[in-house]
Amino acid sequence: MRLVADLVRGMFADEALDTLKYQPQRGARMLEKVIKSAVGNAQDPDQNSGRSHRIEELVITDVRVDGGPMFKRIQPRARGMAFMIKKRSSHIRVGLTHIESVE
Protein backbone atom coordinates (compact mmCIF):
# COMPACT_ATOMS: atom_id res chain seq x y z
CA MET A 1 0.00 0.00 0.00
CA ARG A 2 2.83 2.42 0.81
CA LEU A 3 4.40 1.89 -2.62
CA VAL A 4 1.17 3.02 -4.28
CA ALA A 5 0.95 5.97 -1.89
CA ASP A 6 4.47 7.07 -2.85
CA LEU A 7 3.45 6.90 -6.50
CA VAL A 8 0.68 9.53 -6.20
CA ARG A 9 2.16 11.88 -3.58
CA GLY A 10 2.68 15.33 -5.13
CA MET A 11 0.40 14.74 -8.13
CA PHE A 12 -2.72 16.65 -9.05
CA ALA A 13 -5.82 14.85 -7.79
CA ASP A 14 -7.26 14.10 -11.24
CA GLU A 15 -3.92 12.74 -12.49
CA ALA A 16 -3.59 10.57 -9.39
CA LEU A 17 -7.04 9.06 -9.94
CA ASP A 18 -6.17 8.29 -13.57
CA THR A 19 -2.88 6.69 -12.50
CA LEU A 20 -4.48 4.56 -9.79
CA LYS A 21 -7.16 3.32 -12.17
CA TYR A 22 -4.58 1.29 -14.13
CA GLN A 23 -2.48 -0.01 -11.23
CA PRO A 24 -2.80 -3.77 -10.64
CA GLN A 25 -2.35 -3.64 -6.85
CA ARG A 26 -5.33 -4.23 -4.59
CA GLY A 27 -4.31 -1.26 -2.44
CA ALA A 28 -4.75 1.06 -5.42
CA ARG A 29 -8.54 0.53 -5.27
CA MET A 30 -8.63 1.46 -1.59
CA LEU A 31 -6.45 4.55 -2.07
CA GLU A 32 -8.59 5.60 -5.03
CA LYS A 33 -11.71 5.54 -2.83
CA VAL A 34 -10.01 7.65 -0.15
CA ILE A 35 -8.82 10.23 -2.70
CA LYS A 36 -12.32 10.45 -4.23
CA SER A 37 -13.74 11.04 -0.76
CA ALA A 38 -11.15 13.76 -0.02
CA VAL A 39 -11.89 15.47 -3.35
CA GLY A 40 -15.61 15.34 -2.59
CA ASN A 41 -14.98 16.97 0.78
CA ALA A 42 -12.87 19.68 -0.88
CA GLN A 43 -15.63 20.41 -3.38
CA ASP A 44 -18.28 20.77 -0.66
CA PRO A 45 -18.76 24.50 0.11
CA ASP A 46 -20.18 23.76 3.57
CA GLN A 47 -16.85 22.32 4.76
CA ASN A 48 -14.59 24.92 3.12
CA SER A 49 -16.00 28.16 4.53
CA GLY A 50 -18.21 28.74 1.50
CA ARG A 51 -15.58 28.00 -1.17
CA SER A 52 -15.70 25.10 -3.62
CA HIS A 53 -12.52 23.85 -5.30
CA ARG A 54 -12.26 22.24 -8.73
CA ILE A 55 -10.55 18.86 -8.98
CA GLU A 56 -7.99 20.22 -11.48
CA GLU A 57 -6.70 22.69 -8.86
CA LEU A 58 -6.19 20.18 -6.01
CA VAL A 59 -2.76 18.70 -5.28
CA ILE A 60 -2.14 15.68 -3.06
CA THR A 61 0.37 16.87 -0.49
CA ASP A 62 0.22 14.20 2.16
CA VAL A 63 -0.55 10.48 1.91
CA ARG A 64 -0.02 8.39 5.05
CA VAL A 65 -0.62 4.68 5.39
CA ASP A 66 -0.41 3.57 9.02
CA GLY A 67 -1.02 0.17 10.53
CA GLY A 68 -4.49 -0.57 11.83
CA PRO A 69 -5.91 -3.31 14.01
CA MET A 70 -5.15 -6.94 13.16
CA PHE A 71 -7.48 -9.91 13.24
CA LYS A 72 -5.60 -12.85 14.66
CA ARG A 73 -6.59 -16.33 13.55
CA ILE A 74 -5.04 -19.75 14.16
CA GLN A 75 -4.13 -22.18 11.35
CA PRO A 76 -3.88 -25.79 12.54
CA ARG A 77 -0.69 -27.55 11.41
CA ALA A 78 0.80 -31.03 11.63
CA ARG A 79 1.60 -32.78 14.94
CA GLY A 80 -0.77 -30.62 16.98
CA MET A 81 0.97 -27.31 16.27
CA ALA A 82 -0.73 -24.08 15.22
CA PHE A 83 0.44 -21.05 13.22
CA MET A 84 -0.82 -17.51 13.79
CA ILE A 85 -2.44 -15.81 10.80
CA LYS A 86 -2.55 -12.00 11.01
CA LYS A 87 -5.17 -10.35 8.81
CA ARG A 88 -3.83 -6.83 8.63
CA SER A 89 -5.71 -3.59 8.03
CA SER A 90 -4.51 -0.01 7.64
CA HIS A 91 -5.45 3.60 8.25
CA ILE A 92 -5.16 5.78 5.14
CA ARG A 93 -4.89 9.57 5.44
CA VAL A 94 -4.84 11.94 2.43
CA GLY A 95 -4.12 15.68 2.53
CA LEU A 96 -5.10 18.01 -0.34
CA THR A 97 -4.17 21.63 -0.97
CA HIS A 98 -5.60 24.12 -3.42
CA ILE A 99 -3.27 25.58 -6.04
CA GLU A 100 -4.31 28.95 -7.44
CA SER A 101 -4.69 28.55 -11.18
CA VAL A 102 -2.78 30.99 -13.40
CA GLU A 103 -5.10 32.58 -15.94
d(CA 91, CA 65): 6
Q: Which domains does the chain have, with CATH numbers?
A: 1-65+92-101 (3.90.470.10)
| Confidence (pLDDT) at 65 | 95
pLDDT tens, residue order, the chain (103 aa): 899 999 999 999 999 999 999 999 999 999 999 999 999 988 887 877 777 788 889 999 999 999 999 999 999 999 999 999 999 999 999 999 988 744 4
> 93 φ, ψ to 5°?
-130, 130
Per-residue model confidence (pLDDT) at position 102:
41
Query: What is the structure's pLDDT at 103?
Result: 45
Q: Read off the pTM.
A: 0.82
In terms of DSSP bridges, do strands 58-67 and 82-87 run parallel, antiparallel, or are they unpaired?
unpaired
Buried b (16+ CB within 10 A) or exposed e, 71-90: eeeeeeeeeeeeeeeeeeee
